[in-house]
Chains A and B, each alone.
Chain A
Amino acid sequence: MIELINISKTFNRGKPNEVNALHSIDLYVEIGEFLVIVGSNGSGKSTLLNVISGNIKPSSGTIALDGRDVTDRTDYQRSRYIARVFQNPLSGTAPDLSILDNFRLASLRTHGKGLTIGINEGFKYEVMEKLSLLEMGLEHKINQPMGTLSGGQRQAVTLLMGVMANCKILLLDEPTAALDPRSADIVMKMADKLTHDFNLTTVLITHNLKDAHTYGNRIIQMAEGRIINDVNEANKAKLAPTDLFGWFV
């Protein structure tokens, strides 16, 4: 589903502050795989995710999504495959728009935004049904501005919005970093459930080693722009949490 071939990224090439964020990365993520990426700050995790989403153009190498070369496609052109949840709960939704409007936009991720009014009773019902999955009582608040929701609610809603349109890839960039433990738990469980239910290919970046241990069926560790550990499903199940802590010593 996600195929990175020989991806390198250098920031500020030829300047004193040159940074080699990624060193010829080769990575293949299968359909339905839930990949967890761990690594210290500056190890290149976020750059990798941004290269997949198209927010950062790699210096060399090619990226294919769903078997199609998308190296020269911009982020908004790749959005037909990709749903994203950002670290900042504010980035994934539009705060001044109603929950309903946000969902409408999300449902059109893979379509053009036309000059017709798309919100009708059927659509409202669909959104309310989706929201009731969260069990946060949000299904009765669809006309409220998104900004009135808490950070945890917004992250959970962002996740749901991701699957409104036919998405294939879910990119989670530290989605729980700004959340309290309970909200973080809801968001992670939701991500796990959606990955299974919709057979998504999910990539999660996290600093929470407990989450890294609990979720996903493959884990890689990055350091200085390289993948230094790659543990598949069978071996990941055998990993103890302490083994993961050992990686960072």
Chain B
Amino acid sequence: MDFLLTAIIQGLCFSGIALGIYISMKIFNIPDITTDGSYTLGGAVTAIMFTHSLPFYTILPMVIASGALAGALTGFIHTKLKVNALLSGILVMTSLYSVNLTVMGRSNLPLRDYTTVFTWWKLLGDVNQNSLLMLVVFVGLMTLTIGYLLKTDFGIAMRATGNSESMVRAMGVNTDRMKIIGLAIANALTATSGYLITQFQGFADINMGIGVVIIGLGSVIIGETLINWLGILSVWKSLAVVLFGAVLFQLVLALTLSLGVDANLLKIVTAVFVLLIVGLPRLFTKES
């Protein structure tokens, strides 16, 4: 059962990416793939700050700021220079590879026995259970913040921007600025996932971000399917369902591996799984 617990922890770690993709893709309707880069950026910043023994509480703000900067850059290229959103993301993601390599100084940076977010408060004897508890608190706070933000007047303007741009501009909203802020938030969340995963696995790696966007995408699509099925309208429930999607995604992958599927095939299993969740509902709705 231990692998299930690990999968749940991983899923919660990835909830930042899931929320990030939910914001960029569902709320702003922008396909943002800066994710691969900003996730690794979060990991790289975390690892380098740990190994330089910087105060623990300064790491998370720094990770959030760096992710936000990456997202804002994508947003700026997309809105001000009028570059296609996908290409803007690719450009920033590509250049982040060099940035991350420079930040880390080498391609892999292990963390020694530092006090991490999972261990700085020891309530439960079992390491994994304690990690899970800390993570639930962390993700809970993160989700509350985002949920509150989306409920505010600013959040309504955010949600409307991806929904009906002409209307939002007529309501006096600078949609360019709104998109830049939105992508900054999305990538700050993604970088936070990098922060969590790096501490969980105990190292940052330059290639840790490859294909990570599909985890967020898969989680959001699971969430979206459920949102449509259950007819969810509330912001809070939508966020909760997206988090559930992130955990379910990892559980399915863990179960697949436990069935004895070659680990080398993990990425193709991931891709097929996402294809199934995207494709199956479409097939079913066609019949009805």
- Binary contact track B154-167/A, C-beta < 8 Å → 1, others 0: 10110110011011
**Known A-B contacts A76-B173, A101-B160, A145-B233; A118 and B166 likewise in contact (beta carbons under 8 Å):** no
- Binary contact track B127-162/A, C-beta < 8 Å → 1, others 0: 000000000000000000000110111101101100
Contact yes or no, B167 A117, CB < 8 A: no
Residues from 227 to 255 in B contacting A, C-beta threshold 8 Å: 233
Docked Cα-Cα span, A109 to B172, in Å, equals: 5
Contacts of B174 in A (CB 8 A): 74, 76
Contacts of B166 in A (CB 8 A): 86, 91-92
Contacts of B154 in A (CB 8 A): 113-115
**Residue B6 interfacial (CB < 8 Å):** no
Contact yes or no, B153 A97, CB < 8 A: no
Contacts of A101 in B (CB 8 A): 156, 159-160
Task: For chain A, give the interface size range.
Answer: 35 or more
- Binary contact track A169-195/B, C-beta < 8 Å → 1, others 0: 000000000000000000000000000
Docked Cα-Cα span, A108 to B167, in Å, equals: 13
Contacts of B173 in A (CB 8 A): 76, 113
Contact yes or no, A113 B157, CB < 8 A: yes
Contact yes or no, A97 B159, CB < 8 A: yes
**Known A-B contacts A108-B153, A113-B154, A115-B154; A97 and B160 likewise in contact (beta carbons under 8 Å):** yes
- Name the distance in Å between A11's Cβ and chain B's nearest Cβ: 18
Contact yes or no, B167 A92, CB < 8 A: yes
Contact yes or no, A94 B233, CB < 8 A: no
Contact yes or no, A77 B159, CB < 8 A: no
- Name the distance in Å between A101's Cβ and chain B's nearest Cβ: 5
Contact yes or no, A95 B170, CB < 8 A: no
A90, A91, A110, A117: the one within 8 Å of B152 (CB): A117
- Binary contact track A99-141/B, C-beta < 8 Å → 1, others 0: 0011011101110011111110000000000000000000000
Docked Cα-Cα span, A105 to B171, in Å, equals: 7
**Known A-B contacts A104-B153, A104-B156, A115-B154; A79 and B170 likewise in contact (beta carbons under 8 Å):** yes
Contact yes or no, A115 B152, CB < 8 A: yes
**Which A residue sits closest to B154, measured CB to CB?**
A113
Contacts of B148 in A (CB 8 A): 117
**Residue B119 interfacial (CB < 8 Å):** no
Contacts of A98 in B (CB 8 A): 233
Contact yes or no, A76 B169, CB < 8 A: yes
When A and B form their complex, what is the total count of cross-chain residue pairs whose Cβ atoms lie within 8 Å? 91
**Residue B109 interfacial (CB < 8 Å):** no
A76, A90, A119: the one within 8 Å of B164 (CB): A90
User: Which has the most chain A C-beta neighbours within 10 Å: B154, B156, B171?
Assistant: B171
Contact yes or no, B163 A114, CB < 8 A: no
User: Which has the most chain B C-beta neighbours within 10 Å: A76, A86, A95, A110?
Assistant: A76
Docked Cα-Cα span, A90 to B164, in Å, equals: 8
Contact yes or no, A108 B151, CB < 8 A: no
Residues from 156 to 212 in B contacting A, C-beta threshold 8 Å: 156-157, 159-160, 163-164, 166-175
Docked Cα-Cα span, A73 to B35, in Å, equals: 35
Q: Is the interface of B mostly helix, strand, loop or mixed?
A: helix
- Binary contact track B64-95/A, C-beta < 8 Å → 1, others 0: 00000000000000000000000000000000
Residues from 47 to 66 in A contacting B, C-beta threshold 8 Å: 53
Contacts of A95 in B (CB 8 A): 163-164
Contact yes or no, B167 A116, CB < 8 A: no
Contact yes or no, A94 B164, CB < 8 A: yes
**Which A residue sits closest to B175, measured CB to CB?**
A76
**Residue A226 interfacial (CB < 8 Å):** no
Docked Cα-Cα span, A53 to B148, in Å, equals: 33
A82, A113, A143, A145: the one within 8 Å of B156 (CB): A113
Contact yes or no, A77 B168, CB < 8 A: no
Contact yes or no, A117 B151, CB < 8 A: yes
Docked Cα-Cα span, A97 to B238, in Å, equals: 13
Contact yes or no, A106 B171, CB < 8 A: yes
B153, B160, B167: the one within 8 Å of A114 (CB): B153
**Known A-B contacts A113-B156, A114-B153; A105 and B168 likewise in contact (beta carbons under 8 Å):** yes
Contacts of B153 in A (CB 8 A): 104-105, 108, 113-118
Docked Cα-Cα span, A95 to B167, in Å, equals: 10
- Could you show 22 A-B contacts with beta carbons less than 8 Å apart? A75-B170, A76-B169, A76-B173, A76-B175, A80-B172, A90-B164, A91-B166, A93-B164, A93-B167, A94-B164, A94-B167, A94-B168, A97-B163, A105-B153, A105-B156, A109-B170, A109-B172, A113-B152, A113-B153, A116-B152, A117-B148, A117-B153
Chain B residues near A (Cβ < 8 Å):
148-149, 151-154, 156-157, 159-160, 163-164, 166-175, 233
Starting from the known contacts A105-B153, A116-B152, 20 additional A-B residue pairs (CB-CB under 8 Å) come to A75-B170, A76-B169, A76-B172, A76-B175, A79-B170, A79-B172, A84-B170, A86-B166, A91-B164, A91-B166, A94-B159, A97-B163, A108-B157, A108-B171, A113-B156, A113-B173, A114-B152, A115-B154, A117-B151, A117-B153
